[in-house]
Structure 1
Amino acid sequence: MIPARIDSISITTLEEKGEESIVDWFDQHKQSFYPLGWSYLRTQQQMEELFYRSIIKVHKELPRFKRETAFETRVTSIFIHTCRELSDNRSLQSSEESEPRQDLFKALDQLKEYEKEAIVLTYVKGLSKEEAAHLLQVSVEKMKEHLFSGIQSLKKEMGYGSALNGCKEYHKDYIDYLERAMDRSKKVDFEVHIYHCQECQEDLASFQDVMLTMLNLTERIEDFHVPSDFIENVKDRLAEKEKHRQLKNKKRKRMGIVFASVFALLMGIEVFTGSFTNLYYTWTEEDQQLRAFLQQDLGERLNLEAESDGVKIKIKSAIADNVQTLVFYEIEDTAEDNQYMMNYHEGVSVENEHEIMSRESNPRYYPPDLESDVNNEKKNVYQGKISLLPLTKENGTIKLKITKLQKLIRDSSDRNGLRSYENMEYETGEWNFEIPVTKQPSIEYVLDEETKVEGIPVRFDKLTIAPTATILQYAIKNEQTEKRIDFLNIDNLEVNNKKVKADMYGSSSSHQDMNWSTFQTQFDPLFGEKPKEINVQFESIYLTVQEPKTIELDVSRGYPQTFEYAGSTISIDKVEVGQPTNVAISNHEIENRAYESLQFQIVGEDENEPSSMEMNSEGVLVDKNGIEYDTDEIPVAYEELEQPRYFETVQSVKLDGNNAGEKVIPKRLEIFGYNTTKYLDDVVKISLD
């Protein structure tokens, strides 16, 4: 039976248990995340807001988590992004700082952002340089440079002088030497130089003092006091949010009849005027999607402008409904030939978000449009759109603040058309807008259709037609113990013979009611369609299959050894007892393989004393046609592949004992089941007559 520990259960299980399981995970790991938050923030109010937002974001992002990435690594990344958002949010800052923060982290505030984050992740969170480099999306060598310059800056704060005074050509070796990670021949040369250079001796000694202070910080973190009621306060806020959501759903009234009546009335008045409006926008608006909104009178031209350091941003229009607030913009670099786009998670914020916007949904992600004629016409102009949260009021003014823009660097060697995210560049400045918006009504249609996929019931509940998106809500009944559907991927939706593709970034889980798990899939908008016939085209399902098997492990035996499972021959490559203990299993044969990944755990000799287990994997992407893509060798445009599957080829486990110095001796490998993708071509027909 799977132990009741979140470290060793699957992302799927977390999704099924809901937000409560994420809260429990943060409760178990608060001792490492709490001081990490204090390195960015100033008040207890901000800290509670940090955990509150992080729990919500992790829960909503779970369907997008990659199984090849450690869960804690992905959570830490979200946590850091939230820290950045709150540290930049002046509305949550206070002139009174909490005492523990003044004592422990005041010096870190003087560092540059990249220096601070390198030091915080290494010495506060206690990550390895490789893990920290992965989170910050830099190389390990660049990570060492950031650590060096950070410690250099801290020397001044700690009274050692304003700069390092040793020989610059040896600065890059300080950290490796002090951490005993230097090659022997290089170490000898370094020590010979230090022996003959008095300045380097003094410099290295002061550098070592600061570095030891930071290393001791990791031990001090264990004694960092987390208030006893801290997590309970966060839980209370989450409970209040859920209560508010339920009350709002009960009070929500449908606007369908009103919308249809008003629309019919408007269409009946001055047919000539309406025709002229359509023709006018056809002549004057380049963006086809915005043109369609304007032609349907679902928005208005704004042409708000702001400029900073030669970069001009124009807000062209904003369309709001119950799904999102869609902002169309144009960015022009008046000084150079650069194109920039807005990134919701990097330097874009709504200062009055709490007053006018709903926090019950996530903004939709729109990738950069590099194919449109308008974005290829000029090298210094980019037209795009960004999704913000939906409005809670019928009318309002969005106070949009932009402090950072993402630079679009087209790279012909990258199949994505953009340089990889680890090399992203940004333009900073300050652009402020007050955007007037009116929320447009949406129409909801109750569906009453049920089918079965792999013998599992799938129920279609509701179709929402909003101005900016079409949303299909459905539920999956997972009451079987031997097999369940984790994800159902829909290819397209056809309404009244008009077909719209599913949005790759627009699927999400909603809630769970008894044995039914509810999901939503977003599609492009269907303006003014009154559905009569609906066809839902399935694409694939992602299954969890329960098929238990136990393999005894004996550290005295030689490895590798093999065993049979799910029609495949799997190799146990190594079982190495140490601190940590390492176990690796592999299967590089993927043709006709029944599974994509295994769900398992390693049980030690002391079965009643669970150890910490960290899992990592290597794998290969395979599209529907059987073509393989090695993600480590070439950039892969995932969204361009036809229904890709990710096969794990190597799964590695690190086991640490609960007590310092304790070694975990593996006793057996327990496999619970596996995950697999099955392609579908089913079409479900729904009639609303």
Structure 2
Amino acid sequence: MSNKELLRNFDIKERYTFMIPKIDSHSIPLIREKGVASIVDWFDLQKQSFYILGWSYLRNHRQMEELFYRSIIKVHKELPRFKNETSFETWVTSIIIHTCRELSNHRSLQVSEEREQPIDLFNALDQLNESEREAIFLRFVKGFSQEEVAHILQISVEKMTELLFSGIQSLRKIMGDGLTFHGCREYHKFYIDYLERTLDRPIKIDLEKHIYHCHDCQEDLGTFQDVMLTLLNLSDRLENTQVPSGFMETVRDRLAEKEKLRLQKNKKRVRKGLFIAGVFALLIGIDFFTGTSSKLYYTWTEEDSELRSFLQQDLGERLNLESESNGVKIKIKSAIADDVQTLVFYEIEDIDEPNQYVMNYDDGVSVENQNEIMSPEANPRYYPPDLKFDLNKKEKNVYQGKISLLPLKKDNGTIKLKITKLQKLIRDSFDRNRITAYENVGVTGEWNFEIPVTKQPSIEYALGKETEVEGIPVRFDKLTIAPTATVLQYGINNEQSEKRIDALNFDNLVVNKKKMKADLYGGISYLETSQDMNWSTFQTHFDPLFGEKPKEVNVQFESVHLAFDDHKTIELDASKEYPQTFEYAGSTISIDKVEVGQTTNVVISDHEVKNRAYETLQFQILGEDGNESNSIEMDSEGVLVDKNGTEYDMNVNPVAYEEIEQPRFFVTVQRMKLEGINTGEKVIPKKLEIFGYNAMKYLDDVVKISLE
């Protein structure tokens, strides 16, 4: 393959089709002056581009509406602080990306989702880690420059280039290409700039000389280019994506309703009882005369056992900062900071009505000096409302909770916390310990706090232990004990192509005979490291461990999510009678329908889930020319099965997902609607190509690691 052949038809600057129209910098003051209405008008002009970006995360029209609604509010709120350091389009895109992350985190807890209009390549993109997927989509599909992508993701250009390379490599494996191509590693870092024709001439000449003599690099770079072209072609296919009729009108109506909301008048709050004040004075006197520790004071006065533990360990201080707006009083009780997060304990009281409100990070809650004092390398953790907490059962108008913010950059600082919106809890009428919904705009107002915090130290312990899970090497690298969490860092070997670990779940850690449960909500995160490329590094969060020097760590596994490569091609013929069956992975799968028309319908099913080897299939439909068909709509049905084999049909008898013991979701029916690339063109499916399948397996292994 010649160098000219490698670069044939590959001009990345000409391939970008979804650039967001630029806005004149002189228009920014006008937008500020006209307020929300002008921002909505601008979003309306760019709605298709932003809809496509949001769809890459959410795949759900209702959540897309929520994305636009939240993003417009955030743009309006942050507009006074827009400094023209980057383009307005790049700035807005960064806000949309952040909102997408927030909504997609909540989406990950849902069992079933709408599957309308997915594009097949999205299925492969979904299997990348979040950072790789974002970098690839912004660069190759949205057409932002490398510098703009780096700014949006708040990383260096070098880091962004690494994400593009690793993401394309992963896509190549997922899509079945390049598994046997291994170019020379020292030239990998030049691939993207070379294909984009931005490589410095001396390096370009050296690379081309090498490629000319190295067959492995020719094949490696060729398949790498194919994936990049596929990504660029995706933007062409997305050009026909239609925003649902009336979409922006619905968003406008929600914003208008928000503006019309009548806020309650401020009223006085009942002061603390004399008894508590008396106890406080008494204990201060005891401490002064006898030197008695303040732990006794916190034992008497702090009802929240978690916060009380922090205070008794001198890991934070009692603050009791208060702010009142529109009949709602917020109290910041304390803030505990470490290298993992900044944990803020709060109390919210509706002075006049029996309502309970909670805070939602990045939706009405922001840190005004975040860039100055907080680290962008971490992500805040999600803590769901605790309705079983005794304090939240006592009063119908008071809620006590906690919210996670980013960790501090330095040892201490003052957090400027601004709150403009609270969400109202709506409890289940039959089970008061469950939430049926959030009222998105429970109450609006303005509550401002300056919170002094001191970052508490963490202690790291090297583990150096290796084991195997389902025949795949897993190593335990490091244990970090921080005040707010215990963090286990581990690696998974990804050299095998026929079987891979997508996710490894832990039940608990036992350190010095103390058990700490794994975080149920988003406690697993991927780490970018410069270690061996054959290993992927992750972290899992567990409950905190106070004042312990570990001598032995016992790691209890819970389950593993596996991906299997098992190729099979089934010929399709629309003239045959259906259903027809075929055997795959030990199961009998039915092709229920192959119906050719203006829109071609294909339906496959497998209702027998007992002892089934797979939960979901990875497949595509090929047309007459052997190319992947353009799916315009896909939906599925399925059933949840718990660890004991009990099945739950969520359409018949909805059950809270977190209440099911280690559920597995088996897809039973998959429906696809196919449409030709050209208008009016019929799709005649010829092949069902299965790449592999995904499955979850329960584990009960315990790995013992001695630190002595």
Under TM normalisation by the shorter chain, which class is it?
0.5 to 0.7
Superposed displacement of residue 323, structure 1: 0.7
Superposed displacement of residue 88, structure 1: 2.5
Q: Of the candidates 393, 396, 408, which is equivalent to residue 391 of structure 1?
A: 408
Q: For 1:122-166, what per-residue CA distance to the aligned partner results, in whole angstroms no more than 9, with x for missing partners?
A: xxxxxxx9969xxxxxxxxxxxxxxxxxxxxxxxxxxxxxxxxxx
The equivalent residue for 1:468 is 484
Alignment check: 8 A CA contact 2:621 2:628 kept:
no
Q: Of the candidates 680, 683, 688, which is equivalent to residue 702 of structure 2?
A: 683
Separation in structure 2 between the aligned mates of residue 96 and residue 448 of structure 1, nearest angstrom = 45
Separation in structure 2 between the aligned mates of residue 276 and residue 502 of structure 1, nearest angstrom = 32
What pairs with 1:217-256 in structure 2 (closer than 5 Å)? Answer: 230-237=144-151, 241-242=155-156
Instruction: Tell me the number of residue pairs that the alignment of Structure 1 and Structure 2 aligns.
Output: 503
Is 2:502 aligned against 1:483? no
The equivalent residue for 1:154 is none
Alignment check: 8 A CA contact 1:304 1:316 kept:
yes
What pairs with 1:575-654 in structure 2 (closer than 5 Å)? Answer: 575-608=594-627, 611-612=630-631, 614-654=633-673
Q: For 1:576-607, what per-residue CA distance to the aligned partner results, in whole angstroms no more than 9, with x for missing partners?
A: 22343221111111111111000101011122
Q: Of the candidates 497, 516, 522, which is equivalent to residue 500 of structure 1?
A: 516
Superposed displacement of residue 675, structure 1: 0.6
Q: For 1:439-458, what per-residue CA distance to the aligned partner results, in whole angstroms no more than 9, with x for missing partners?
A: 11111111100000111000
Alignment check: 8 A CA contact 1:86 1:92 kept:
no
AA partner of residue 559 (structure 1) = Y
AA partner of residue 148 (structure 2) = V
Is 2:329 aligned against 1:312? yes
Superposed displacement of residue 487, structure 1: 0.6
Superposed displacement of residue 620, structure 1: 1.2
The equivalent residue for 2:78 is 89
Q: 1:40 to 1:442 in 2, by over 3 A?
A: farther
Is 2:274 aligned against 1:285? no
Superposed displacement of residue 566, structure 1: 1.2
AA partner of residue 75 (structure 2) = L
Q: For 1:514-553, what per-residue CA distance to the aligned partner results, in whole angstroms no more than 9, with x for missing partners?
A: 1111111101110121111000000010111111111101
Separation in structure 1 between the aligned mates of residue 409 and residue 88 of structure 2, nearest angstrom = 38
Q: 1:227 to 1:457 in 2, by over 3 A?
A: closer
AA partner of residue 609 (structure 2) = I
Alignment check: 8 A CA contact 1:414 1:635 kept:
no
Superposed displacement of residue 311, structure 1: 0.7
AA partner of residue 563 (structure 1) = F
Alignment check: 8 A CA contact 1:331 1:341 kept:
yes
Q: 1:275 to 1:561 in 2, by over 3 A?
A: farther
What pairs with 1:526-541 in structure 2 (closer than 5 Å)? Answer: 526-541=545-560
Q: For 1:551-577, what per-residue CA distance to the aligned partner results, in whole angstroms no more than 9, with x for missing partners?
A: 101111122221111111111121222
Alignment check: 8 A CA contact 1:366 1:386 kept:
yes
Superposed displacement of residue 380, structure 1: 1.0
Alignment check: 8 A CA contact 1:43 1:96 kept:
no
Superposed displacement of residue 481, structure 1: 1.7
The equivalent residue for 2:592 is 573
Separation in structure 1 between the aligned mates of residue 551 and residue 600 of structure 2, nearest angstrom = 61
Separation in structure 2 between the aligned mates of residue 438 and residue 652 of structure 1, nearest angstrom = 54
Separation in structure 2 between the aligned mates of residue 28 and residue 632 of structure 1, nearest angstrom = 42
Separation in structure 2 between the aligned mates of residue 96 and residue 535 of structure 1, nearest angstrom = 50
The equivalent residue for 2:678 is 659
Identity among equivalent positions (%) equals 65
The equivalent residue for 1:440 is 456
Superposed displacement of residue 661, structure 1: 2.4
Superposed displacement of residue 394, structure 1: 1.7
The equivalent residue for 1:334 is 351
Q: Matched residue of 2:603: which SS?
A: strand
What pairs with 1:160-175 in structure 2 (closer than 5 Å)? Answer: none
Separation in structure 2 between the aligned mates of residue 468 and residue 599 of structure 1, nearest angstrom = 39
Alignment check: 8 A CA contact 2:631 2:675 kept:
yes
Superposed displacement of residue 659, structure 1: 2.2
Alignment check: 8 A CA contact 2:387 2:433 kept:
no
Superposed displacement of residue 615, structure 1: 3.4
Alignment check: 8 A CA contact 1:70 1:615 kept:
no
Is 2:354 aligned against 1:369? no
Alignment check: 8 A CA contact 2:504 2:559 kept:
yes
AA partner of residue 326 (structure 2) = D
Separation in structure 2 between the aligned mates of residue 372 and residue 523 of structure 1, nearest angstrom = 20
Superposed displacement of residue 393, structure 1: 1.9
Superposed displacement of residue 399, structure 1: 1.2
Q: 1:345 to 1:236 in 2, by over 3 A?
A: closer
The equivalent residue for 1:13 is none
Q: 1:302 to 1:418 in 2, by over 3 A?
A: same
Alignment check: 8 A CA contact 2:616 2:695 kept:
yes
Superposed displacement of residue 30, structure 1: 3.9
Separation in structure 2 between the aligned mates of residue 620 and residue 33 of structure 1, nearest angstrom = 44
Superposed displacement of residue 657, structure 1: 2.3
Q: Of the candidates 451, 455, 470, which is equivalent to residue 454 of structure 1?
A: 470
Alignment check: 8 A CA contact 1:583 1:654 kept:
yes
Alignment check: 8 A CA contact 2:508 2:557 kept:
yes
Superposed displacement of residue 278, structure 1: 1.3
Q: 1:239 to 1:405 in 2, by over 3 A?
A: closer
Superposed displacement of residue 40, structure 1: 4.5
**Taking structure 2 as the reference length, what is the TM-score of the superposition?**
0.65
Superposed displacement of residue 276, structure 1: 2.6
Tell me which moved more, 608-617 or 449-458: 608-617
Tell me which moved more, 372-381 or 84-93: 84-93
Q: 1:227 to 1:381 in 2, by over 3 A?
A: closer
User: What RMSD in Å do the two structures reach over aligned CA positions?
Assistant: 3.8
Tell me which moved more, 574-583 or 490-499: 574-583
Superposed displacement of residue 283, structure 1: 0.2
Separation in structure 2 between the aligned mates of residue 99 and residue 523 of structure 1, nearest angstrom = 40
Q: For 1:236-259, what per-residue CA distance to the aligned partner results, in whole angstroms no more than 9, with x for missing partners?
A: 43687157989xxxxxxxxxxxxx
Alignment check: 8 A CA contact 1:655 1:664 kept:
yes
AA partner of residue 637 (structure 1) = A
Q: Of the candidates 442, 447, 469, which is equivalent to residue 431 of structure 1?
A: 447
Alignment check: 8 A CA contact 2:425 2:437 kept:
no
The equivalent residue for 2:376 is 359
Separation in structure 2 between the aligned mates of residue 271 and residue 533 of structure 1, nearest angstrom = 41
Superposed displacement of residue 38, structure 1: 12
